[in-house]
Amino acid sequence: MDRTIRQVVIRGQVQGVGYRAWVEHQARTHGLEGWVRNRRDGSVEALFSGPAETVASMVALCRRGPSSARVETVTDEAAGIDALNLRRAGEGFSLLPTI
């Protein structure tokens, strides 16, 4: 099984609408590892690790987001294992503080 790590930044009306909680729920439901956090510039940043096909599906879901969000753009790039290590010890998927 081919595993991948992708980092995404979602821009639009994505803070204050439950976007992070939605990402966390979707990622856990799909068995992905990683993290999600708000950024001070108003965007949401997330990292997904898992089977390539599942990660790609999660990135596609982020382009829509929850019904209360208005996603304008999603940037998606490869990331390394060091980025995955930002999650909290013992957690598969973490909700991180704003940066």
Q: What is the CATH classification number for the domain harbouring 69?
A: 3.30.70.100
Average pLDDT per block of 10 residues along the chain, 99 residues long? 92 97 97 98 98 98 96 97 94 96
Q: The pTM is what? A: 0.95
Is residue 42 one of the residues assigned to a domain?
Answer: yes
> Can 20 be counted among the known catalytic residues?
yes
pLDDT of residue 2: 87
Residue 95: inside a domain, yes or no? no
Residue 99 lies in a domain: no
| Domain tally, the chain | 1
Q: Is residue 50 part of a domain?
A: yes
Does residue 29 belong to any structural domain of this protein?
yes
Task: Tell me how far apart the 2 most distant CA atoms of the chain are, in Å.
Answer: 36
In a domain, 13, yes or no: yes
Domain holding 56, by residue range, is 3-90
Q: 85 an active-site residue?
A: no
Catalytic choice (6, 37, 38, 87): 38
How high is the pLDDT of residue 6?
98
What token pair was written down for 52? 């390539």
Number of H helices, E strands in the chain: 3, 5
Residue 97 lies in a domain: no
Q: Which of 3, 6, 11, 20 is catalytic?
A: 20
CA angle 58, 14, 78 (to 5 degrees): 40
| Structure confidence at residue 1 (pLDDT) | 60
